[in-house]
């Protein structure tokens, strides 16, 4: 690998972004050598790292949450900067082709198994079932042609022009949060609005107010703010809940460098360093600035129609109630351990609690250490942020889920592991394929310590748990560095509990035809040809959701 050489102009550019030279060199070294792989010990399974709550436990958790929530600072945190480009990628691909003169030819391409054309036919056959149909109709009517007529005559190109491009809805360039997802009698809702409605159902804290925090791109912040101003009173009235909504953007000092194929810093045509957004792992800083106590985390596209929200609400409250119970017990042990009269028996009890309820397994030899050493170890490991993570039974796709991993000190811990973080060896890949559950990004987090002070979440990040992905810029290949994933390396040193939740709570919209699922409000009697939602294939983590 070539030596790392930074010019004076490079140093000035780093300083302007608030990135230290040491950090820049560390990023370039990681890009050159590649990040270390996680060492899988075994996948978590029910009874071995994953809990399954009984109906009684669910009811107790809900009761606890409903009783304590009015006294806590509760926030719903939604990463929402992700663009909808991937959601419409098949339609974008077809729009750029010359396939519009012969609809029968399009059907042949679809029948041969070409996914983009299958997506197009499903989309066009079911066009009126999408929540943005009325908005498309208004655009076409303005140009004195109805959307129904365009659909009947199979003028696919014109429909896609209204949908994807700046002359119309411009959906290929908007963030998912601003896409109309669901039909309602009073009008369609965007994904952003669905999160407002959800928060009113389960994220009310002190004063009965539902607080939400969205991370958005700076380019789209004005549109989010305008939409909020337009609909806020409507949802406050409909759900009889005051809403307090804040936004933040990814900070420039979380941008990362890239390297070329030779391992040297990638440069723009003018010779300047290329800086790229650091991925959703950079959002740990946004989360760190929240003044909350209990924080729900959920992706922007994982929402359902109102008539399917009760299941989501039930399990969100149950997970939060479980977190509150574990948090209270942990705080009690910490207060006793930090008292002047703590005893060896109390230290032993704390170790037993940590192992039984938090899956904290100490390294070999710790029990032969002095009482003072053991006491300090258990205090350090109990006094950490806590997260309860809902996990869903694997749908057949491997990886991306809960695992027992071996830490550098040889002890085992619970982690959410992505495919790209696993070594290519046959043994490790076999363990990856043996996963029974995956991570749907359904987290409830406790981010204050036993004294009530907020944790500095940056202390609990594994800085080497980065992602390296292959990208291109100006026709040139590059290696891009993305910061430790928000719920992977970004929370590597948190205390973690995995709980099985039903698949009904996981309804992401990764492809546009996913909106044709019943849980997104579509009817069940859809045309048979290529209709119904496309199968959801989970992507590698490391980019915005």
Q: What is the pLDDT of residue 529?
A: 44
Q: What is the pLDDT of residue 525?
A: 60
Long-range contacts (CB closer than 8 Å, 24 or more residues apart) made by 163-172? 163/88, 163/91, 163/132, 163/136, 164/88, 164/91, 164/92, 164/95, 168/136, 168/139, 169/132, 169/135, 169/136, 169/139, 171/84, 171/88, 171/132, 172/84, 172/85, 172/88, 172/91, 172/92
Contact status, residue 76 vs residue 437, Cβ threshold 8 Å: no
* Residue 47 backbone class (left: φ over 0; alpha: ψ -120 to 50; beta: rest): left
Task: List the beta bridge partners of residue 468.
Answer: 481
**Cα Rg, the chain, nearest whole Å:** 25
The number of C-alpha atoms within 13 Å of 387 and in the hemisphere containing its C-beta is 25
pTM summary value: 0.91
Provide the 3-class DSSP secondary structure of residue 73.
coil
Distance of CA 18 to the CA centre of its chain: 26
| Residue 417: closest CA among 120, 147, 72, 37 | 37
**DSSP letter, residue 517:** S
Q: Vertex 157, ends 151 and 161: CA angle to 5°?
A: 100
Grouping H, G, I as helix, E, B as strand and the rest as coil, residue 366 is helix
CATH 3.90.550 spans which residues of the chain? 8-83+204-518
400: number of CA atoms within 13 Å, CB side?
17
Which three-class secondary structure state does DSSP give residue 89?
helix
Give the 3-state secondary structure of 204-252.
Answer: ECHHHCEEEEEECCCCCHHHHHHHHHHHHHHHHHHCCCCEEEEEECCCH
Which letter does DSSP use for residue 83 in this model? Answer: B
CATH tag for 8-83+204-518 (out of 3.40.50, 3.90.550, 1.10.260, 1.10.760): 3.90.550
Residue partners of 536: CB distance under 8 A and separation at least 6: 395, 508, 510, 511, 514
DSSP string, 367-430: GGS-HHHHHHHHHHHHSS-EEEEEEEE--S---SEEEEEE-TTS-EEEEEE-GGGB-SSHHHHH
Task: Write the CA distances from 487 to 219, 284, 391, integer angstroms.
Answer: 25, 9, 13
According to the model, what pLDDT value does residue 196 have? 98
Q: What is the DSSP letter of 282?
A: G
What does the alpha-carbon distance between residue 89 and residue 77 come to, in Å, rounded to a whole number?
27
Class of residue 145 by CB neighbours under 10 A (exposed 0-12, middle 13-18, buried 19+) = middle
pLDDT tens, per residue, the chain with 545 residues: 677 888 999 999 999 999 999 999 989 988 888 888 999 999 999 999 999 999 999 999 999 999 999 999 999 999 998 889 999 999 998 888 765 557 788 888 888 998 998 999 999 999 999 999 999 999 887 777 778 888 888 888 888 989 999 989 999 999 999 999 999 999 999 999 999 999 999 999 999 999 999 999 999 999 999 999 999 999 999 999 999 999 999 888 889 999 998 899 999 999 999 998 888 888 999 999 998 899 999 999 999 999 999 999 999 999 999 999 999 999 999 999 999 888 999 999 999 999 999 999 998 888 889 999 999 999 999 999 999 999 999 876 555 799 999 988 889 999 999 888 899 999 999 999 999 999 999 999 999 999 999 999 999 999 888 888 888 888 889 998 888 889 989 999 999 999 999 999 999 999 999 999 999 988 766 654 454 344 433 333 333 33
Residues 6+ apart with CB under 8 A from 254: 277, 278, 282, 285, 483
């Amino acid at each position: 690998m070539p030596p790392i050489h930074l010019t004076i102009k490079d140093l000035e550019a780093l300083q302007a972004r608030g990135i230290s030279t040491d950090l820049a060199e560390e990023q370039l070294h990681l890009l050159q050598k590649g990040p270390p792989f996680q060492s899988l010990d075994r996948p978590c399974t029910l009874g071995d790292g994953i809990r399954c709550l009984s109906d009684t436990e669910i009811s107790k958790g809900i009761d606890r949450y409903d009783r304590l929530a009015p006294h806590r600072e509760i926030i719903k945190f939604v990463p929402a900067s992700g663009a909808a480009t991937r959601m419409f990628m098949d339609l974008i691909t077809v729009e750029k082709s010359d396939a519009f003169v012969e609809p029968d030819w399009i059907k042949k391409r679809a029948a041969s198994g070409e996914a983009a054309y299958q997506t197009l036919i499903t989309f066009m056959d079911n066009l009126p079932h999408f929540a943005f149909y009325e908005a498309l109709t208004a655009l076409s009517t303005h140009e004195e042609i109805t959307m129904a007529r365009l659909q009947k005559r199979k003028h696919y190109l014109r429909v896609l022009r209204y949908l994807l491009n700046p002359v119309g809805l411009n959906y290929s360039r908007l963030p998912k949060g601003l896409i109309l997802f669901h039909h309602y009698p009073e009008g369609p809702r965007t994904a952003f609005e669905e999160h407002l409605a959800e928060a009113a159902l389960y994220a009310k804290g002190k004063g009965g107010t539902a607080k939400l925090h969205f991370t958005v791109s700076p380019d789209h912040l004005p549109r989010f703010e305008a939409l909020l101003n337009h609909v806020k009173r409507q949802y406050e009235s409909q759900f009889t809940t005051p809403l307090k909504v804040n936004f933040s953007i990814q900070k420039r000092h979380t941008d990362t460098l890239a390297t070329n194929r030779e391992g040297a810093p990638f440069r723009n045509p003018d010779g300047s360093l290329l800086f790229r957004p650091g991925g959703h792992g950079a959002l740990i800083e946004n989360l760190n600035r929240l003044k909350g106590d209990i924080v729900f985390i959920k992706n922007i596209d994982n929402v359902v129609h109102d008539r399917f929200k009760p299941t989501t609400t039930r399990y969100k409250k149950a997970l939060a109630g479980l977190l509150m119970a574990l948090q209270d017990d942990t705080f009690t042990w910490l207060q006793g351990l930090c008292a002047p009269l703590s005893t060896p028996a109390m230290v032993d009890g704390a170790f037993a609690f940590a192992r039984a309820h938090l899956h904290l397994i100490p390294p070999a030899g710790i029990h032969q250490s002095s009482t003072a050493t053991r006491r300090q170890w258990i205090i350090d490991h109990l006094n950490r942020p806590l997260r309860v993570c809902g996990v869903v039974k694997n749908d057949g796709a491997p990886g991306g889920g809960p695992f027992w991993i071996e830490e550098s000190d040889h002890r085992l811990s619970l982690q959410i592991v992505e495919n790209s973080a696993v070594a290519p060896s046959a043994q490790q890949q076999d363990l990856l394929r043996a996963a029974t559950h995956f991570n749907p990004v359904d987290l409830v987090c406790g981010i204050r310590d036993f004294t009530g002070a907020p944790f500095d979440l940056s202390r609990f990040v594994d800085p080497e748990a980065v992602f390296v992905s292959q990208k291109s810029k100006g026709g040139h290949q590059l290696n891009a560095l993305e910061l430790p994933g928000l719920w992977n390396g970004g929370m590597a040193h948190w205390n973690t509990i995995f709980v099985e939740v039903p698949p009904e709570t996981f309804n992401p919209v990764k492809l546009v035809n996913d909106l044709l699922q019943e849980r997104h409000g579509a009817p069940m009697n859809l045309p048979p040809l290529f209709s119904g939602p496309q199968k959801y294939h989970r992507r590698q983590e490391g980019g915005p959701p």
